[in-house]
Structure 1
Amino acid sequence: MEQGHPLQVYYQESALIQDLILELYDVKVSEDFQKYFNIFNQLTTIEKRFKRKENQLFPYLEKHHWNGPSQGMWSFHDVLREQIKLLHKHNETKDVEKITENLPYLLEGIKRLMLIEDQKLFPNAMRLLTKEDWEEFYEGDEEIGWMLKEKPAPFPNKDSKYIHPSEDLTDRTQRFSIENTFHYDEGYMTPEQVNLLLRFLPVDITYVDENDKVIFYNRGEDRVFARSKGIIGREVRFCHPPKSVDMVLRILEEFKAGNKDSAEFWFNFKGRIIHIRYFAIRDKNKTYKGVIEMSQDITEIQKLEGQKRLLDWD
């Protein structure tokens, strides 16, 4: 296996996890809570490993028609997440009795998971995935992160300059048709799909270019503020009431100067609570390319309490 191969990194993490599990079995929580707490927190970075598997490895296995890990193993991850969450609560109150009672369930569960990885997941992944598949992993893995203290070297190790995804013209086999699509930073969409996405976003978006001209707004069903096609090409200063235009112009000035990147406001409007955010848009060279204004009615969102984790359609 080549140096830096994604599976090699998984095995390096496995060795780290085994060491942490042994340390947690040895530490006496009642005598040295801080030592236990530090080791436990290091073990909980296993979440990065879970996410890499779920968002990187599993999709590639699905591409090769093996869907089992996306169902069974992902559920196993969620069980371990719940156990970690429970232990976090006991750690907050330093409930040594509850920690001592529940910790072994987590550790044994992780050991069983790694046994399945070693016996089935990783060998099958090595058999099914192509060299080209593995070479596409690094960028996505890097976005999620690793458990290791030192960041793994890029794989494959090539002395070539970085190519922005929008400029990457490498021909790759996709799992869906890319006919009539454009290649965005992450994925492909047709103009129709982009339009539908923007139309159904639950926020109002207005895009003002670097020349302070309105060049786009999304046409949702329930806009917070009315918009019409007449504003396209209009200077943004004329799209706001006189009492707020000075503030808008200052935001643009600070964005252009590079002093600020965002601004936000919230207020009551016709009995609803409205949240407005402005974001500076910059290209990869940090050159100012305009501003996006996002407006959202957050009245119902502010009323949310507790949790809702189940579907209540029935």
Structure 2
Amino acid sequence: MNSFLPTVEKLPEGHPVKVYYKESALIQELLLELYNVDPVANFQKYFNIFNQLTTIEKRFVRKENQLFPYLEKHGWEGPSQGMWSFHDNLREQIRLLNKYNEEKNTTKIIENLPYLIEGIKRLMSIEDTRLFPKAMDLLSEEDWKEFYIGDEEVGWMLTEKPAPYPAIIKEEYVHPSEDFTQRDLSFSLDNTFHYDEGYMTPEQVNLLLRFLPIDITYVDENDKVIFYNRGDDRVFSRSKGIIGREVRFCHPPKSVDMVLRIVAEFKAGTKDVAEFWFNFKGRIIHIRYFAIRDNEKNYKGVIEMSQDITDIQKLEGQKRLLDWD
């Protein structure tokens, strides 16, 4: 299972692949402990080990959102399809075992646990013999240097956070929200603006806001309405006349005092969210207000979001298949 390990051990400390192998060592220890523990005789011990193993989700997400996109950039799309499906199969087994854990159904736990253990072993074998060796061949050193900030956002299974790669002076660390580094991308950046995560043209931003299944109204720090999205099926009607209007004139007298209190609390920094739900024309409407603040925590306005949740409230169980046919 560790045929590539001798190569990995020569990598600098903190290298993403070396971190993956440190996680692999932890996973192997946990799988051995799970194999040897008796859920009937010591359920709590089993449960603790199992819960620690479920942090493997962080490893899955890092691979799916960090490693796979870089492999795609270099023309290898297989992991984004086959291995991602493998992840989902293991997630389903974990969900099933969590259900049996809640019920303390040790018979079902003992029956299903081996499938999870063997599935993870098989995945790690493929990682060791194919995924990581080929990733090392395809990705450049500059590619690997771009991983740390994104990896940190997702997190690791390890109890101690890995050292940054490449090694950096602490004061040089850049938070993801402040990282404006230009990177090679597979699409044109013409007429785009850089947002916290990604790039869009003004047209794309407008389309995104128009097709969101939720009403949005943005009131700036001066209490003036500066934006609302024009969806095809709004909960509450809006017109161009409200742009530039003071927020206190945009609500009926019976609710304006409440709106003004929300704005006052947001400005004072004592609250960040307010929400309400009620019946409106036979539908259940959910309204939320969010304080908007810049990186220095200065108040920059409030967003009002309204959504018809009538059909959402009716959902039961789960739906995992497309029923278009």
Which of 20, 34, 51 matches 2:44? 34
Structure 1 partner of 2:85? 75
Structure 2 partner of 1:144? 154
Which of 211, 214, 232 matches 2:243? 232
The 5 A counterparts of 1:146-225 are: 146-159=156-169, 160-163=171-174, 168-225=179-236
What is the alpha-carbon distance in structure 2 between the residues aligned to residue 300 and residue 29 of structure 1?
Answer: 41
Q: Aligned-pair distance for 1:225?
A: 0.9
What is the alpha-carbon distance in structure 2 between the residues aligned to residue 168 and residue 34 of structure 1?
Answer: 43
What is the alpha-carbon distance in structure 2 between the residues aligned to residue 166 and residue 15 of structure 1?
Answer: 32
What is the alpha-carbon distance in structure 1 between the residues aligned to residue 244 and residue 99 of structure 2?
Answer: 54
Which of 137, 141, 148 matches 1:131? 141
What is the alpha-carbon distance in structure 1 between the residues aligned to residue 28 and residue 180 of structure 2?
Answer: 42
The answer as to whether partners of 1:166 and 1:183 remain within 8 angstroms in 2 is no
TM-score normalised over the length of structure 1: 0.97
What is the alpha-carbon distance in structure 1 between the residues aligned to residue 34 and residue 182 of structure 2?
Answer: 48
Q: Aligned-pair distance for 1:170?
A: 3.3
Q: What is the Cα-based RMSD across aligned positions, in Å?
A: 1.3
Structure 1 partner of 2:317? 306
Q: 3-state DSSP class of the match of 2:270?
A: coil
Change (3 A) 1:267 1:169: closer
Structure 1 partner of 2:292? 281
Which of 281, 287, 294 matches 2:305? 294
Unpaired runs of at least 5, structure 1: none
Structure 2 partner of 1:53? 63
Q: Aligned-pair distance for 1:169?
A: 4.7
Unpaired runs of at least 5, structure 2: 1-10
The 5 A counterparts of 1:6-45 are: 6-45=16-55
Change (3 A) 1:110 1:169: closer
Q: 3-state DSSP class of the match of 1:18?
A: helix
Which of 266, 271, 296 matches 1:260? 271
Q: Aligned-pair distance for 1:100?
A: 1.3
Q: Aligned-pair distance for 1:163?
A: 3.8
Change (3 A) 1:44 1:163: closer
What is the alpha-carbon distance in structure 2 between the residues aligned to residue 213 and residue 110 of structure 1?
Answer: 55
Amino acid at match of 1:27: V
Change (3 A) 1:73 1:34: same
What is the alpha-carbon distance in structure 1 between the residues aligned to residue 22 and residue 64 of structure 2?
Answer: 18
TM-score normalised over the length of structure 2: 0.94
Amino acid at match of 2:55: T
Change (3 A) 1:180 1:167: farther
What is the alpha-carbon distance in structure 2 between the residues aligned to residue 67 and residue 243 of structure 1?
Answer: 57
Amino acid at match of 1:3: E
Percent identity for Structure 1 against Structure 2: 80
What is the alpha-carbon distance in structure 2 between the residues aligned to residue 54 and residue 87 of structure 1?
Answer: 23
Q: Aligned-pair distance for 1:164?
A: 5.4
Q: Aligned-pair distance for 1:161?
A: 3.0
Structure 1 residue runs of 4 or more that deviate by more than 4 Å after TM superposition: 164-169
Change (3 A) 1:165 1:113: closer
